[in-house]
Amino acid sequence: MYILLILLLIILLFILLLAIFPVSIAIGVNSYEIPEYNLTFSWLKSILRGNIKSNDGIKIINLYLFDKKILDRPLKNVNGGMNNNINLIRRIKPDYIVMETSYGFNDPSITGMVYGFISFISQYLNIDELYHNADFMTEDSFFNMKGLIKINALSAIIQYFYSSNKLYSKKTKGGYEYE
């Protein structure tokens, strides 16, 4: 009986920690290395952290629990592909977003249009801090982006299961089939 009670308290403590401490997601994209990118996420720093890298079109995930590698494998696209992933990202509302962009194009007018577009779109994305460094006098075109996003872990997990359940119900009702 006491073991069941202790187990229940541990589960409740874990759920409370998920609700209180956000997941930090850092992303970096460099125009010289496109389509490669690096996405790093962590929850409570040393408890859970991971890295998703794209090398030559292959996405690889590394997952660490208490600084011990527990997963290192290629990432497969499952659960409805890109459309389902975009819908999931839309439903997860981030608590905090910081974005830093550096860019420049051969034609200064294109640099100005990108500057205006990023400034305009940032108002609708609820970006808390935006730093964009436009280089109007560059000879080589480039684009670099770094970002930090903090999301509520419990909310993200609930939205993921909601998304998976919705996809499963569509699949079983004959809406569409997967490979």
Residue 27 tokens, joined: 């992303």
Residue 107 resides in a domain: no
Cα 39 to Cα 5, 22, 52, distances in angstroms: 38, 16, 5
Domain coverage including residue 43: 32-76
Residue 55 resides in a domain: yes
Residue 38 tokens, joined: 């690096």
Residue 147 resides in a domain: no
Give the total number of structural domains in the chain.
Answer: 1
Q: What is the pLDDT of residue 88?
A: 67
* Segments of the chain scoring below 50 in pLDDT: 174-179
User: For strand 142-152 and strand 129-134, is the pairing parallel, antiparallel, or unpaired?
Assistant: unpaired
Q: How far apart are CA 114 and CA 156, in angstroms?
A: 31
Q: What is the pLDDT of residue 6?
A: 93
Residues 39, 55: contact at Cβ < 8 Å? Answer: no
Residue 56 resides in a domain: yes
Q: How far apart are CA 105 and CA 134, in angstroms?
A: 9
DSSP letter for each residue of the chain = -HHHHHHHHHHHHHHHHHHHSEEEEEEEEEGGGTT-EEEEEEETTTTEEEEEEEETTEEEEEEEETTEEEEEEEPP--SSHHHHHHHHHHHS--SEEEEEEEEE-SSHHHHHHHHHHHHHHHHHTT-SEEEEEE-TT-SS-EEEEEEEEEEEHHHHHHHHHHHHHHHHHHHHTTS----
pTM for the model: 0.73
